[in-house]
Amino acid sequence: MQRFEGRTAIVTGASRGIGLAIAQRLVDEGARVVITGRRPEALASAVAQLGGTDHALGVAGHAGDLDHQVDTVSRAVDVFGSADLLVNNTGINPVYGAMVDLDLDAARKIFEVNVLAALSWTQQVHRAWLDEHGGAVVNVGSVAGTKPAPGIGMYGASKAMLTHLTQELAVELGPDVRVNAVAPAVVKTKFAAALYEGKEDDVAASYPLKRLGVPEDIASAVAFLLSQDASWITGQLLVVDGGLTLTGGV
């Protein structure tokens, strides 16, 4: 299917893992993609994997930097002619432990990247393109935002707020812009490696589908929500978790 023929997507944090898989799925279905990340060399490799500069553009920078956001959106419109779709995929979790002992500077950093950056990216794309032309946004959340997640509580709290942000924006930006979110459980990426490396079979045993997720699982869900197949869906959180939350897990 070429559901995204003639459309341009911006995918943040897409030099590897879930973000790169999302970008690949969108390219496979006809989109041009603009991907972001911190390391130019990793982005160059990702662009090559996506089929080269006819299909993808990499823009290096920090996800929370306003100048980087404005530049990226401007380059998307200048190079590919539009900015129809946005995937807020960038997220961080630099600390592990009880929230009562959490360093507040770390908490602020998590909030700024996982929530405020997603809002700001949406603002910039809306001002540059979506307000006049319409389109769709998907935010990448987490099952950690659906219930208490001991050890990664601030990360979970930030993802819970991202879900609420998704709902607020869906109300504000309809009918021409749809805003949805996905909530993955553990996906086999470098970001989540500490949660499963050396114990994958044991971790997967708690999932009704008896396996961990792979980036392509999330990419297919995001592509659906961005596409016209989901044209009557907005403000929703699609849990993509192999059934984990059915058993009480996060």
pLDDT at 248: 87
Distances in Å between the Cα of 88 and the Cα atoms of 69, 96, 119 are: 12, 23, 9
Question: CATH code at 14?
Answer: 3.40.50.720
| Statement: the pTM of the whole predicted model exceeds 0.85 | yes
- Does 19 reside within a domain? yes
- DSSP-assigned beta bridge partners for residue 85: 9, 136
pLDDT at 195: 82
- Does 247 reside within a domain? no
**What is the number of domains present in the chain?**
1
- Does 207 reside within a domain? no
- Does 121 reside within a domain? yes
pLDDT at 191: 87
Known catalytic residue at 196:
no
pLDDT at 86: 99
- Does 205 reside within a domain? no
Low-confidence spans in the chain with pLDDT less than 50:
none
pLDDT at 182: 98
- Does 146 reside within a domain? yes
Q: What residues make up the domain containing 107?
A: 8-192+212-241
Q: Which of 96, 155, 196, 207 is catalytic?
A: 155
